[in-house]
Amino acid sequence: MNERNSMPQNAIANGNNADIRTPVLIVGGGPIGLALAADLGRRRIETLLVEQRENKLNPAKMLEVSVRTMEFCRQLGIAGKVRNWGFPFDWPLDSVFVTDMRGYELGRICTPSLGEQAHIPSSPERGMPCPQTWFDPILQEHARSYPHVTLRHRVKLESFVQDPSGVTATLKDEQSGKTEAVRAQYLVGCDGFGSTVRQLLGIDIRGALHIDWAMTVYLRIPDLHLQHDKGKAFRYVFVGPEGTWSFLSIVDGKDLWRLQLVDLDEDRLHKADIAAMMRRGVGADVAYTIEHKDLWTRKSTVADRFMDGRVFLAGDAAHAHPPNGGLGMNTGIQDAFDLGWKLAAMLDGWGGDGLLDSYDTERRPASARATEASLRNYRRLISAAQRADIYSATPEGEAARHAIGEQMVEENQKSWHPVGIHLGYIYHPSPIIAPDGTPRPEDDTFGYAPTTFPGARAPHVWLAPGKSILDLFRNGFVLLNFSERPVDSIMRAAESRGVPLNVHRIASREAAALYERPLVLVRPDGHVAWRGDAEPADALDLIDTVRGAGPHIAARRATSSPS
Ligand SMILES: Cc1cc2nc3c(=O)[nH]c(=O)nc-3n(C[C@H](O)[C@H](O)[C@H](O)COP(=O)(O)OP(=O)(O)OC[C@H]3O[C@@H](n4cnc5c(N)ncnc54)[C@H](O)[C@@H]3O)c2cc1C
């Protein structure tokens, strides 16, 4: 590998004169950078995270934490904090389609309050309303709790150069104006859609860079539920003769609301008369104060590559979604989950040469799947048929409202809380997953059928009250043995390669049936790496495959490297 990427002429290459040295440098302190810092922290990896902004709270973009992100939080030990940050457990989470809040109800997707929801069968956790204003500080506090994780604010990445043994980055302290050189073994750009890291790497993004303009308005509205007859809900979707024109979502379960205006025209959004919009949505004058307004463009993009040598992209830097369906951050968290253990494996010395390449192979298709789903969610939301008679108090008007309501309910329940999009993604094909020759289960972004097909998320089952099988997947690999079969050769192979492996003998018949094979090897991120009826003939080959040093990886590298 030659030195490459943008760097001022006089910059320090090879890091000989670096001011700071760190194994991992994370650029960006949004939720993805923080999640990665926390994950590396628990894996005992020294990490420096730099964020250009001040350490202060911004209005919440993300409102909903997915079931899979909650499983990640469970691994970190912060799921309780995310559950109990303050959203009232008795607040109904319905989505209500209305002409206005005092007008016609077109349809309703009923979702019980947190207090009424039962456990879902597929996970020990469930999706949670936890806006970024609360979620990010929980992640940040957790990341900071590791003494070897350093978070620095008002520090901006300006440039970097990489060579075969590391990356040298130039950082600028925004307060003092001073620059400093940091030498890292790996750099991860979690620096959002406008990613400096991605631009410095010259990686293109594909997809729709501009779908439309949108405006988010954060409003304090005391006792809104007393001013209409539709009851408390998570969101109200406003539908007029022109179709869906806006929606209002509760942020804090008290009096903070978020109004989203959808329009193609930036100028019209700038001039939007919020008072008139609120009057139209509520159906009456209502007292409120505006806390914040945000104008943004809806996009749906995926980067051409998620990595280049020792530099990686994660979160919005790699893929940007229409926010509909709440997949943006939740998909990015899975990038961090996938990358964290792989970086740790390299730094701990047991990762093979091909391990990090699998980050791109695994996460790029998974992200593309989620961005496509987000776009579909958005189209469903705005697809309400345009009916001039929607307000009409006639049988025709009634029929129009009924038809629109039915359509919107049926379509949109595929968008909110579909377990399949979060739990159903399978890393297949992947160079570090050992296939077993069975056909890949059909991809379902809505429903979820548990499977141990290699590459799938290992399914949840309770082993004891409060103890999920997922709780076993924390640090190294886990070999689940649902039988009396010997596993000595896999254990010896792992030991000889320095791969951390815990073996668990599971007596539960329910778990054995769910896991489909007597032996299942699970990765540190909870995905199935291999399954079998008995130990493989060559256990060393298996262990080499899952640590990214399999014979096919070595062969591929040999043919692709210049002679
Ligand atoms: C209205 C709206 C609603 C949404 N709702 C949801 C939802 O419900 N669920 C969901 O999953 N997602 C949702 N999203 C998407 C979600 O907010 C994003 O996917 C998420 O914030 C991306 O996190 P990130 O860490 O990748 O990037 P960001 O949050 O953009 O963070 C990147 C950080 O990098 C910093 N940075 C940039 N360049 C540099 C540099 N050179 N040096 C140092 N620091 C730098 C920036 O200051 C920033 O703090 C929503 C988005 C919007 C707009």
pLDDT at 475: 85
Q: How far is CA 561 from CA 110, 352, 530, in A?
A: 56, 16, 28
Q: How far is CA 14 from CA 64, 159, 185, in A?
A: 42, 14, 11
Query: Are the C-beta atoms of residues 67 and 58 closer than 8 Å to each other?
Result: no
Taking CA 504 as the corner, what is the angle to CA 456 and CA 448, rounded to the nearest 5 degrees? 25
Query: Tokens 């160079």 correspond to what residue?
Result: 431
Closest CA to 237 of 408, 377, 114: 408
365 phi/psi in degrees, rounded to 5: -65, -35
Nearest to 330 by CA among 39, 63, 56, 37: 63
Tell me the pTM.
0.95
Q: To which H or E segment does residue 480 belong? A: strand 477-481
Note whether 98 and 239 are within 8 A (CB): yes
153 in contact with ligand 1, CB cutoff 6 A: no
pLDDT given at position 542: 98
User: Which residue in 448, 431, 451 sits closest to 440, CA to CA?
Assistant: 451
Q: Where are the beta strands (DSSP E) in 52-129?
A: 64-65, 95-98, 105-109, 128-129
**Alpha helix (H) residue ranges in 170-239:** 196-201
Going residue by residue through the chain (563 aa), what tens digit of pLDDT does each one get?
344 444 433 344 567 788 899 999 999 999 999 999 999 999 999 999 999 999 988 788 899 999 999 999 999 999 999 999 999 999 999 999 999 999 999 999 999 999 998 889 999 999 999 999 999 999 999 999 999 999 999 999 999 999 999 999 999 999 999 999 999 999 999 999 999 999 999 999 999 999 989 999 999 999 999 999 999 999 999 999 989 999 999 999 999 999 998 776 888 888 889 999 999 999 999 999 999 999 999 999 999 999 999 999 999 999 999 998 889 999 999 999 999 999 999 999 999 999 999 999 999 999 999 999 999 988 888 776 678 899 999 999 999 999 999 999 988 888 887 899 999 999 999 999 999 999 999 999 999 999 999 999 999 999 999 999 999 998 899 999 999 999 999 999 999 999 999 999 999 999 999 999 999 999 999 999 999 999 999 999 999 999 999 876 766 666 665 43
Residues whose CB falls within 8 Å of the CB of residue 470, separated by 6 or more in sequence, listed in order: 71, 74, 75, 123, 124, 458, 460, 526
Q: What's the longest Cα–Cα distance across the chain?
A: 80
Ligand 1 centroid vs 335 CA: distance in angstroms? Answer: 14
Q: Quick check: CB of 179 below 6 Å from ligand 1?
A: no
Choose the residue to mutate in 191, 205, 260, 302 for probing ligand 1, maximizing ligand atoms within 8 Å of C-beta. 191
Q: Say yes or no: CB of residue 335 within 6 Å of ligand 1.
A: no
Handedness of CA 279, 282, 287, 290 (dihedral sign): negative
As a whole number of angstroms, the distance between CA 14 and CA 169 comes to 10
Helices (H), ranges, 292-356: 328-348
3-state SS, 37-60, equals HHHHHHCCCCEEEEECCCCCCCCC
> What's the confidence (pLDDT) of residue 8?
39
- Among 61, 247, 367, which residue has the most ligand 1 atoms within 8 Å of its CB, making it the best to mutate? 61
Enumerate residues 6+ apart whose C-beta is below 8 A from 535: 485, 486, 487, 488, 489, 490, 519
- 505 phi, psi to nearest 5 deg: -90, 120
Place of tokens 């997707």: 109
Q: Which of 87, 329, 330 to mutate to test the pocket of ligand 1 (most atoms within 8 A of CB)?
A: 329
Q: CA-to-CA distance for 176 and 48, rounded, in angstroms? A: 19
